[in-house]
Structures are given as C-alpha cells and as structure tokens.
Structure 1
Amino acid sequence: MYNPQKIKRTLLALTLTMSGASTFAKQPAPLIVTPIPSYYLTKKIPSSYFLWVSQKNHLQKVKAYEDFLTKHDVNNVIPTFELLRTARDWKQCGREEYLVPPKELWENQVPTLKVFRYLTATKTLTNFEVTSAYRDFQMNRCAGGAVSSRHILNAAMDFRIGPEHPTAKDYTNIEKTKFKLCQFWKQYGPDLKMGLGTYSSGQIHIDTQGYRTWGPDHTQTSSICL
C-alpha cells in the first residue's frame, strides 16, 4: 500500500546519507522510489513532437514503447518526447529529431531510467533536459559518437542542466549539481554499473553499461569526479 509518510522518511534518509558522506566506500544500490510528479508535469511538449507523432505509424510505436515502460514502472521518469530524441545534430545529419528504438533494445534503457528516477526523486537532478537517448548507427556516427556508444544500445542518455543558454547564476547551480552527481556516482555507481561523462559542450552522459567516468578528452583523466 502506498504510504506517503514512509516514502518521505526514506527520501530524507537517503538524501542525508548522500550529503553527509565523508568517504565513498562501495554502498548498496539506493532504494528506487516514486518520482516527484511536478518535475514531469512542468515540461512543455514541443510542437515538433506533436507533428512527428502525427505522421506515419509513429503514434502506434510510441504507445507500445510507453506501455512497455509502464509495465516496468519507469514511464514517468523522463517525458516521452525527450526520451525519443536522437541527437542535437539531427537536422545537420538529415535525420529525424525523434526515433522509437527497436523493440529488442527497449529493456536496455530500464536500468538507466531507474537511476534518473532516483536522481529526480531526491532532487539531485531538478532542472535538466534530455537531449539525446537512442541513436541508430548512422545517426550516432554523424553526431560524432563513439563506435561502441551506449546510445546505439538504447542504454544511455545525454542531458544538460539548466537552460540552453545559461547565465552566471545558472552556472553556479550547474557546478553544484555536477558535484552531487559525482557523489552519487562514487557511492552507488559500482552497484548500478553506472557510467558518468561530461563534455566541453556542457552535455552530461549517464548509462548503466559499466562503472566508469570521463571528461572532455573522453578519458577518466579529465573527469570532474576524480
């Protein structure tokens, strides 16, 4: 039975554990909790998504994917229009902005969505926007992704913190959020097989295909978490 007070106490305990930790010894994977509805509901759906979903058989494919995510209790973590974004360079690559992954890859995104569900529920992540999730091989190559990119497997998400054009105040919040993300990665990353990368573009990458971290030069040497 759903118990709001119990959920609230659990969230508080987990948040205090993260913020008060002085060491980063391996910890058990965190409890996955129900996301905060306000985050999901404040997202504005772009007109480009409405247009795309009205074409061909896109709506049917989207509905099937959403039903799958609902079955695995990760349907309200990332808005569907963000979860279907291919890459920021989709137009230059002559591709579509949105794409439903092949059905055989749907399950790969579930563990990553669970990580995002915890991050949003504990407010480690608040103001952010997913800019790239699944990419097919051609899209990934055009966007400059690695040959072994986890985006091809539908197991990764790139996102930015704050607005597309941040102010000085936004940059302060961005750096604070990155620090909290690193804390989370150090404490829970080994159990979650979590990869955390940052890029010079300001984009941040999260997947659940192996515990590792990297920075702008694509090696762990430039990672902000080490």
Structure 2
Amino acid sequence: MGKYRPNITFVWRIKASRVLPTSSEIRSVYRSPGLNGCAGGADSSKHMNASAIDIWVPEYEDNLWRLSTMQDGLCQFWQYQGQSHNFGLGLYATGAIHLDTDGYRKWGFNHASSSSSCRY
C-alpha cells in the first residue's frame, strides 16, 4: 500500500471536500504495461508507475445532470488546487474519472487538453 498512499490520500481529500461522492469506486490503480495496453491506456500512462487512480460513480452512470455537476466540481478543484497537488485530471464521456499526482494537466476523451470538458 505504501506507493499508493499519496493517491489514495488525495482521493480521500477530494471526497472530504464533497467533490466526489463517498460512493465513488476505485476501478484501477497500478497496471503493468501489458494490462495497460489491453485497457487502452496511453503509452506513458501514469498507471504504470502507480501514480494514477481511475474512479467511477455507479449511481451517476445514468444521470447526466449529476455526472456533469460532479465533473464541474472536479474541474473547479483542479483549477484552484491542481497545481499545488501536481494533479492530472482526465474526464471521459463514459463517466470514468482519472486522477493522478504526476503532472498538472487535464484531458478528455482523446487524451488531449482540448477535449477536456473543463472550461477553465
């Protein structure tokens, strides 16, 4: 658990700030290069060095308003606290959320900043 602690602590901090609901589920943390390839991860995925966490909120899956509201909250958190936490934020149309503590950046469905749903 040692190498995952900063990321898990960071997720707890976001939950405590009520940006992420307490029901958020961690779907992926460390991935070997082979598993990362199977998952469609980027060649330089932060999952391969254990600095990333993918999260899913099951009850928001069919509620676009709640999903959008949560994503807006994550974008605001990223804007105001992202740089100090070296926080990377990936938001996907499926509702999947990628958080990492290995570079201040944001992206969306095609792994580009321009596809991020964050308006900031």
What is the Cα-based RMSD across aligned positions, in Å? 1.6
Which of 161, 164, 167 aligns to 2:57? It is 161
Question: Would the aligned equivalents of 1:194 and 1:209 in 2 still touch at CA under 8 Å?
Answer: yes
Comparing both chains, which one has the higher relative contact order based on Cα–Cα distances under 8 Å and sequence gaps of 6 or more?
2
- 1:119 and 2:8 correspond: no
Please say if residues 156 and 206 of structure 1, whose CA atoms lie closer than 8 Å, have aligned partners that are also in contact.
Answer: yes
Q: TM-score, normalised by structure 1?
A: 0.49
- Compute the displacement of 1:201 (Å): 2.7
Instruction: Tell me the residue number matched to 1:191.
Output: 84
Identify the residue that residue 174 of structure 1 maps to in structure 2.
67
CA distance in 2, matches of 1:123, 1:201: 21
1:167-211 residue CA offsets vs partner (Å, 9 max, x unmatched): 3xx221111111111110000000100000012332110000000
Letter aligned with residue 201 of structure 1: T
TM-score by length of 2: 0.89
Q: 1:201 aligned to 66, 73, 94, which one?
A: 94
* C-alpha distance in 2 between matches for 1:194 and 1:182: 11
**Partners of 1:218 and 1:117 in 2: CA distance:** 25
Deviations 1:78-105 (A, max 9, x none): xxxxxxxxxxxxxxxxxxxxxxxxxxxx
Are 2:71 and 2:91, in contact at CA under 8 Å, matched by a contact in 1? no
Q: Which amino acid aligns with 1:114?
A: T
Unaligned runs of 5+ in 1: 1-64, 66-105
Structure 2: unaligned runs, 5 residues or longer: none
**Which residue does the alignment assign to 1:147?**
43
Contact 1:162 1:174 in 2 (8 A): no
Identity of aligned residues (%): 36
User: How much has 1:146 moved relative to structure 2?
Assistant: 1.1
Alignment of structure 1 residues 37-48 onto 2, 5 Å = none
The residue identity in structure 1 corresponding to 2:73 is: K
Instruction: Decide which structure has greater strand share.
Output: 2
Paired amino acid for 1:188: Q
| 1:219 and 2:115 matched | no
